[in-house]
Structure 1
Amino acid sequence: MRTPPPLLAAALAGALFALSACGDDAGAPLELTAALPDQVAGGTEIRIGDPAIQAIVQASGLDKELADAGVQVEWANISGGPQSIQAFRGDKLDCSAVADIPSLFAAWTGTSTKIVFQSVIVDPINHPIYQLGVAPGVNVSSLADLRGKKIAYSAGQAQGALVLRVLQKAGLSKDDVTLVELTSTGDSYVTALGSKAVDVAPIGAANVKIYKTKYPGGGAILTGIRDDASTLYCLTKSVQDADKAAALKVYVGVRAKALLWQNANPDGYAKAYLQDVQGLSAEDAKDVVAVDGRKGIPATWDNALKRLQETADLLAEQQDRDKLDVSTLVDRRFEPVETAAAGADVVTGDAA
C-alpha cells in the first residue's frame, strides 16, 4: 500500500482537526512486554491513516467484524511518511500505513513509533512497487547509465532509500550523480520527469503506463531490487495504552484478512479504492491491478527485519545518521495476530 494522491491543504487540516478530539481519553498503561489484551473496552477508538485498507474493509464487509469486537475506527485520509509523522507529532493519529523508511526517520527525528504489521509481495522482483522513470529524450537503459544523471530524491521516503540502493547496486556513489531533493507526493515525480526537471525518478510501477501516455517519449526500467516493504506503524504511546492495544489487536487481524480479500477480489478492490478513492478511470484501474503483486502475510518478520536493518545501516552511512537497532522499532506481539488471521495463506521462504 502506498501514498495516495495529495490532499488539498484544507482537507488535511480538517482531517487533523477532526482527529484531535479523539486522543484525549487514555486507557490503563500497558507494558511493551505485557500480553495484548483480548477484550476491547467500550468506546475505544483508534485513529488510523490507512486509506486503501479502509476502502477494502468497507467493501468486503470486514467493518462488521471491527464493530462486533467493539472497535471504533476514526479513519484519516493520511498515509506515507511526511504526513503521518506530522500527524504523530501533533498527537492527531495513532497509526498509519507506510513502507519501512518512515519508522527509521521517526526514530531519527525523535518520534517514538512501533511497527505492528508487516506484509510482502509474494513475487517481489517480478512485481516491484517502483520502476525508474526516465525523462523523455534521456538515454537510460541500464543502471550503469545513471552516471551523471539528475535523480529525484527524498531522504525520508521509501523512494529515497531505493535510489541509494540502486546506486549501490550499480557501483555508483552520490558523487557520480546529481540528487535533486524533491518530496514524492502524488504525481510530483511524474511531473518532474515530464518537465525534464530530473532525468530519472522512482515512480510507481502501476503508474508507468499512465506516465508514458501523458509524456510520450518517457520510459522506465526495472531496478531488480526488492522494494515491497509495507507496514502499519503506530505511536509507541498508543500501543502502551491497554484499550488501544486491544483495539489494534483486532484491527491487525482484520487488516490481514483485508489484504487476502484484495487478492481474491481484484475487481472489487479496483472499484472500491482505485476508482472511488483515487479517482482512476476504470481502464487505468484495470491496468494498475494487472501489474499489482499478490499480497502476502509473512510467517515470520525475521526476513523483513533483516532487510530493514540493512536499509537502516545504508541510510546511516549515506545520510550521516545515528546507527539504529531496528528491533527496537517493532512490536512483535502483533506478529502472531496477523499470521493467525492469514492461516494457511502465510508466506514462507525467501519471499517472506
Structure 2
Amino acid sequence: MKTSLYRVLLACGLVLAALVSPAGAAELTDLNGRKVTVPDQVRKISIDDGRFLVALSLIQADPVKWLAAWPRDVHRIGDATYAQFVAKFPALRSVPQVASSAGSFNLEAVLSAAPDVAVVSVGSGPTEAQTAQLKAAGIPVVFIDFFDNPFKNQDASLRILGQLTGGQAKAEAYVAFRRQHLDRIAQRVAKLAPSDRPTVFLEAHAGISKDCCNSPGKGNMGEYIDFVGGHNIGADVLKAPVGKLNIEYVISRDPQVYIATGGAHLEKAGGLVLGAGYDAARARASLAAIVQRQGIAQLSAVKSGNSFGLAHQLINSPIDIVAVEAFATWIHPALFKDVDPARTLAEINQQFLAVPYQGTGWTGLK
C-alpha cells in the first residue's frame, strides 16, 4: 500500500513539476553549495530538526503555520519550550511527523506531507537518490546547518529560512543584531596571545550516562570556545565535530574551565538539568551534584569554582549568541566583564522571538 501511495504521489508530482513555469520559481544556494530552484511563493515547508522551529520563530510571528511536517523531536527544544509553543500555537499538535535528522531519512513521510520545500540538516537528510526522487515529485530539498559549523553557517541558514517564508527583513535584522554582538567579542579576542587562552573542557549532556565524556571536537560547540578565546581540549584528540573523551585524558589535561551542558532530557538519568522549566536554585544544585562525580571533582576547574552549566537548547540555533556571551564571561571574566548575556537574551525575547525563551539558561558555582 505504501509503495502504491508513493507511485501515485510521484506521478502527481511529476505532472505538477512540469506545470511550474520559470516565472513562478526562485533560485537559492543551500549549505551544501547546491543551486536549488524553489517556488517563488512557498506556503509550507517540512523540517527535520525541532530547533529549526526556534529559528523560524525569530523571523515569523506564527512559525507553526509554515510547517507541513516536523519531526516532533521535543527533547531537542525541551518539554517546557514545547508546551509554550503549543499554548500559543495549538496547531503544532496536529502537524504531521517526518523523521528526525538524528535517524534515517523517511522519504514516504515527506512525500505524504507534500511540502513546497523540504528543509533538511547538513550531515544527514536524504541521499542523492532520495533528493532526486523528491525533486521529481515537485519537492525541492534545501540543506541548512545550525550544528556542524555554527559560526560559518548560522547567518546563511537563517537567511534561507527568511527567503523561503518571506521573512527576509526580519532575518537580516537578526543577523545584524547577532553580528554586532559577535564582533564585540572578536575584536577583543584578536588581541590575545596564544598563551592567554585557558584550557576548557566542555562536557555535553553531562551525566547522561556513567560513561565519560561527551565532548565537542573540531567544529560544533568547540567553535564557540575557540571564538571567545579558549582552548578546547577535545579538539586536540577528536577530529569530528563531536565524540567521547575518557576521564583519564581529561584529568591529565586538568582544564582551567569546566562547562557542562544539559536540560530536561537528563532529568531521569540524574544529569544536569536547567533551561526552560527550571529555576536558578534547581539549576545550580544540579551543577553542584554533577561536578562531584569521580574524576570531575578533582579537576582544578572544579576546585577553583570555574565550573558552569549551560542549557543545551541555547546552542545549535541562532540564539546561540547568548551561549557565546556566557562562554566569554566564563573563560575571560575580566576581558568581558561588561558583557551581559541575560540582557542580550531579554532583547532577543522582546525584539524577535515569537515564543520567548524562559527558565534558567545558564548557571555557575563561583
Q: Which protein is bigger by CA-based radius of gyration?
A: 2
TM range (shorter): 0.3 to 0.5
TM-score, normalised to structure 2's length? 0.32
Higher relative contact order (CA 8 A, sep 6+): 1
